[in-house]
Structure 1
Amino acid sequence: MPGSFTNEGGTRAYRLYIPGGKHAQALPLVVMLHGCGQDSDGFAAATRMNVPAEREKFFVLYPEQAAQANPSRCWHWYKGEDQVRGRGEPSIIAGMTREILSMHGIDAARVYVAGHSAGAAMAMVMGVNYPDLFAAIGVHSGLPYGVAHDLASAFAAMQQGPGAGLFQRESVIPPVLNMPRAVPAIVFHGDRDTTVHPGNGDQVLAQWAAVHSGEPRPLQLTTNRSRVPMGYAYTRAAYHDASGQALLEQWMVHGAGHGWSGGNPEVWYTEPRGPDASEEMVRFFRQHAQGEP
């Protein structure tokens, strides 16, 4: 279903996937932020997120960056005015999400945001600034929060790894008082990514682990290595709390480049031979809801 949302930050179009059948209870929502060179329809096709949405019954919102705002349709994750709550593109994405919640009776405790590349970097922005809205986030081929402040520092971080741009300005998670809860996160990255250096995936994890350092006990790490049949090997690292729940996961896909792991082979910006990132993100999201201990 097509639509658009407008606030003081601007206007953005979107596509909303509504699962079929009658819904006896409020359903979850996954917000999917596309990368540069994509639009909402293309991202839906690339990730095939609508497949688990139909099977497990959740809504999927695909905000679309306007070509007028950025000719390459990149979200402005690297601009200062688009890195804070209540301003610019974060306010549009959050406002659009809240409007969908109201219009369709979404379960407000089960709202999630994920993205690829520039969309993944914007998902980090949303997780930092709206932990009251999003129960968990998915970051695929993305970058840490605050790693850049303009286009030049963005390209430096993307091409040379986080060390190139991370310390060009203060790059820290805002004070704990601005984050009433540490948002669980699942991170995917290909170790052959030449567009966004794989070191950024490590830095995303390190940055988010720092947020979770306030847990009563240190997170416990477990790792395992496996392979997709006829596909890529991958290493999964999971960081568990005292109850055994994974608050952070990192999937490093060995041999993969800058594409959505396990995505549609007929669409650009996918790595079909990797583990299915959409399915794994849905699994991870299913374990987390607002208000859980």
Structure 2
Amino acid sequence: MSEGFVCREFPGYVYAHVNAGRAKGELSGFTYVYKAVGSNNDLGTSAMAEVTLRETQEGYFELGSCQSVDAIAPTVSLTAPANGAVLSGNVSISADAADNVGVAKVEFFANTTLIAEKTAAPYSFSWNTASAANGSYALKAKASDAAGNTKEHSINITVDNGVDNTPPQVNITAPSAGSTVSGSVSVSVTVSDDRGVARVEYFANNSPIGTSTVAPFGLSWDTSALTPGSYALKAVAYDGAGNSAQDNDTTVSIEAGGAEYDKTNGLVKLSGTYSGLNSVYKYIPAGMKSNVAYPLIVVAHGCLETAQQHSDNSEWTKLADKYKFFLIYPEETSQIGKCLDWWTSTSQNGGGDTGSTIQAVKDLMGAKSLCAVNGTATKCKVDANKVFVNGFSAGGGLAIQMLAVAPTLFKKGAIHAGVPYKGYTGSDTNSLGYINGGKNQTPAQWAALMPQNPGTYPPIIVFHGEGDTTVNYTFMNEIMEQWTEVHGIDRTADNNGSRLKADDPNHTYNEYHNASGEIVVATVSIKGKGTMKMTHRVAVDPNGTGVDKGGNSAGTYAEDAGLYAAYYALKFFGIIP
């Protein structure tokens, strides 16, 4: 007999009387679901259980193998909108749900029509009420667990969209009027509508240059093939009812394109000495004009891989080819496990690998002539307001250090499976216990490790696989606590349950804003696509043809998680609108 809950509480026999006309042994060997009920005040009532009956004597059946059955229903409560609300346009619907074992899904219904299903928290979505007829509805949230137990909560709402005659409002915010642009130009707008924006169409001198259908409705405008001169930019916004509005034209000048930098043949090693590092590589894509300032990104590899292998996993050079930015790769192959140094006090305080990588960035920004035009060396033109760092694993630790010790040089950072700043200082071999086991400290303790506390540091986005035991998954939260505390902000997420990728239920995205509404920290907790949670890998999404697809899941430290982390790092940096 097994030692399940019911067996411990109610040992012995199930007294199942054999009724007249029922043959001896008729019940033997069959499985039944039952509750055991005590006969006095010392015994209670068990949970539902499955038992197999085995006959021992006439009229009695011994309790065979048994196991507890989950009979506890989830709890669920609609939190928005309010009961009795009158709704129109796009409305945020949300619910709280919990279960003793785990919530399998939450379904949302308008009367009997399923309008959404969520399989992971936050249980929220945006409902376009224009898809429903005007009238009264019972809005219901139904929570289910894996055992099939369910619970429902309903409220009454009214959909009243009426006739929509109100146009959107739209205004181009970048580039600014009178500015001179060239190459790939990010066009941004502020746009709103009382019932939701459907799309924004863009024109230059009345010729269409693109359409955006996804908030924040920006556009990347390629001016490289256009004749130099003056151009009137126009944005036209539409809502779901077809109402439209346009802003006043924003006039910009496209300058004559300069000579192109020579494209590097893959990753090219920089000459000179960068103390502590074995090598530093650069990558310069084709089509970059020598009179245009471009972004620069440092890409730092993880342990047990080279700069080239890490670059291939996330396809960084392909992204640079498409979106036009410089790349710098520090490489360490002589340390334990080929790890970039994040654990010594030298590197943590701005020397060693950290200092050498910072020096390489400054060299490419003009301290040395690291670009070339038609074979002649020249200085690279880097946009000093668009210098970023991206690091995985040990490279994530290095990235945190660069952001901490050079906060005015780097404008933003992306950390993949990294560790907080100065959480461990010591030897390389002893660092393994720290990264495997994690370290839980208070936000104040983490902030006290920063060079300045309080202080102002570049915004960061942190990606981490929920099944990572190499660099403990809990470090994602510890980094968030360190960065929010040093900026003096709370740890309540400010993005109302939105996701990086709206149709991907396998990640949780949180933003933490300062008083000005700017993102100080964003975290991306990645469950992944399979039955096993994503482990110590960079997240890629190689299947498909969308702009947010890319990466190589065949790489040792890459996993098809349904989310292309490098792409979303570029969006966080502002390189992709």
What TM-score do the two structures reach when normalised by structure 2?
Answer: 0.45
Whether 1:210 and 2:485 are equivalent positions in the alignment is yes
Do structure 1's residue 113 and structure 2's residue 389 form an aligned pair? yes
Distance in 2 (alpha carbons) for counterparts of 1:245 and 1:287: 17
5+ residue gaps in structure 1? 289-293
Does 1:98 find its partner at 2:362? yes
- Relative to structure 1, is the Cα distance of residues 244 and 226 closer, same or farther in structure 2, using a 3 angstrom cutoff? closer
Q: Which residue, out of 244, 247, 250, partners 2:520?
A: 247
Post-superposition offset of 1:275: 1.1
Instruction: Give me the whole-angstrom Cα distance separating, in 1, the residues matched to 2:556 and 2:501.
Output: 20
The corresponding residue for 1:285 is: 573
Counterparts of 2:468 and 2:274 in 1: how far apart (Å)?
36
Q: Which residue among 399, 417, 425 is the counterpart of 1:149? A: 425
Name the residue aligned to 2:458.
183
Deviation per CA, 1:30-49: give whole Å up to 9, x if none: 10000001111101101112
CA shift for structure 1 position 163: 2.7
Residue 244 of structure 1: how far off its partner (Å): 3.6
Specify the SS of the correspondent of 1:163.
coil
Distance, in Å, in 2 between the alignment partners of 1:50 and 1:13 is: 18
Question: C-alpha distance in 2, partners of 1:4/1:161?
Answer: 36
Match of 2:338 among 61, 70, 73: 73
Residue by residue, what CA displacement relative to the aligned partner does 1:209-230 show, whole Å, maximum 9, x if unpaired?
Answer: 11221x7x99862253669799
Secondary structure in structure 2 of the residue aligned to 1:28: strand
* Structure of greater relative contact order (alpha carbons < 8 Å, 6+ residues apart): 1
Rounded Cα–Cα distance in structure 2 between residues aligned with 1:171 and 1:72: 30
Which sections of structure 2, spanning at least 5 residues, go unmatched?
A: 1-266, 370-379, 528-532, 541-550
C-alpha distance in 1, partners of 2:448/2:568? 29
Alignment-derived partner of residue 259 in structure 1: 537
For 1:1-293, list aligned pairs within 5 A: 1-4=267-270, 6-7=272-273, 9-23=275-289, 24-65=291-332, 67-68=333-334, 70-85=335-350, 87-102=351-366, 103=369, 104-150=380-426, 151=428, 153-163=430-440, 172-176=449-453, 181-213=456-488, 221-224=494-497, 233-254=506-527, 255-262=533-540, 263-286=551-574
Q: Render the CA deviation track for 1:95-127: whole Å, top value 9, x for unaligned.
A: 011101113121122110110000001100111
Measure the CA separation in 1 of the matches of 2:408 and 2:499: 35
Higher helix share: 1
Q: Is the 8 A contact 1:230 1:273 kept in 2?
A: no
Question: 1: CA distance between counterparts of 2:518 and 2:336?
Answer: 42
- Please identify which structure carries the higher strand content: 2
Give the Cα separation in 1 of the matches to 2:493 and 2:534.
27
Amino acid at match of 2:495: T
Q: SS of 1:101's equivalent?
A: helix
CA distance in 1, matches of 2:461, 2:564: 13
Aligned length: 280
Give the superposed CA RMSD: 3.0
Is this contact kept in 1: 2:297–2:390, CA < 8 A? Answer: yes
Residue in 1 that maps onto 2:94: none
Q: 1:83/1:109 Cα in 2 relative to 1: closer, same or farther (>3 Å)? A: same
Higher mean C-alpha deviation, range 70-79 or range 93-102: 70-79
In structure 2, the partner of 1:291 is none
8 Å contact from structure 1 (residues 141, 188) kept in 2: yes
Give the superposition deviation at 1:54: 1.6
2:275/2:356 contact within 8 Å kept: yes
**What one-letter code is carried by the residue in structure 2 that aligns with 1:79?**
T
Contact 2:336 2:429 in 1 (8 A): no
> Cα gap change, 1:99/1:12 in structure 2, threshold over 3 Å: closer, same or farther?
farther
